Structure 1
Amino acid sequence: MLLGLCGCVLLIDGPAPAQEPDVDCSKAETQVEMTYCSEQEFNEADKRLNTQYQRVRKAMKTWDADADLPASEGADAALVRAQRAWIAYRDAQCEFYGFQGHGGSIEPQLIYDCQRDLTVKRTTEIKEQADAMSN
């Protein structure tokens, strides 16, 4: 009897398989659903930013390699410094923005929405900068 009980405890106590919630974000109604959808939107925006960032880094490395004077180099390093500073800004700004709902169930959604909005803007900024430098 003791062995059977131990087996049950081990089965119950084991890790649960990870599952994606089945949420239709066009019809999200609960706070959990809305937060989940905001997180997914931020993740997609972050993927687009990372793709654009890699393109811009490649362009800045080419810019540096083509520079006529050593003093004209450093575009790639400047981009990296700017991006690191921007990430710190985004995270701090969105933490601050989340204080509108601090301690409530809406706080994570506010943070994800803020991160998404700033990330979309940043994606446009770095693309426009690279475009301006390639002309």
Structure 2
Amino acid sequence: MMAEQLGASQVKAEINQKDNCDNPLTQTTMNICANLDYQEADARLNEIYQQVKREIVNDVQEQKLIKVQLSWIEFRDLNCNYIADAYRGGSIQPLIYYSCLTSLTEERIQHLELMVDNF
């Protein structure tokens, strides 16, 4: 949903902008960098989620994990849309949205890592 707000030309510039993420000077760069941070966190989340799934030996537990993860993703997305909606129309809205996604995704990674540690 927010990806459309970045615009195609901005998304194409992501590769070039990554170098500027240590010191973003414009709101557009901040938005792109926040998106890139989220993409990295989401990739890590998918890795750890797959690791948890591999550790489960019971089909019932695996199905429960899948249901929980899908519900969590729905919650995360709805929650971050709600938070970012307070900034609707503002240039900071994508930054708020992607920062929220990143924060919640990093929390979920920690929870899943605890599951791996307990197997």
Provide TM-score, normalisation by structure 2.
Answer: 0.83
Q: Mapping of 1:28-107 within 5 angstroms?
A: 28-60=24-56, 62=57, 64=58, 74-107=60-93
Per-residue CA deviations over 1:11-57 (Å, capped at 9, x if unaligned) read: xxxxx9x8434221011011100000000000000000000000000
Identical aligned residues as a percent: 30
Residue identity opposite 1:83 in structure 2: Q
Structure 2: gaps spanning 5 or more residues: 1-8
Compute the displacement of 1:99 (Å): 2.2
Give the alignment partner of residue 97 of structure 2, picking from 100, 105, 111.
Answer: 111
Counterpart-to-counterpart distance in 2, 1:30 and 1:122: 30
Offset at residue 100 of structure 1 (A): 2.9
Q: 1:20 to 1:121 in 2, by over 3 A?
A: same
Considering Cα pairs closer than 8 Å and 6+ residues apart, tell me whether 1 or 2 has the greater RCO.
2
- C-alpha separation between the residues in 2 aligned to 1:25 and 1:74? 43
Q: TM-score, normalised by structure 1?
A: 0.74
Which ranges in structure 1 are unaligned for 5 or more consecutive residues? 1-15, 65-72
Query: Residue 116 of structure 2 aligns with which residue?
Result: 130
Indicate the structure (1 or 2) with the bigger Cα radius of gyration: 1
Aligned length: 107
Q: Secondary structure at the match of 2:107?
A: helix
Measure how far apart 1:129 and its partner are.
2.0
Give the distance between the partners of 1:32 and 1:122, measured in 2 at CA.
27
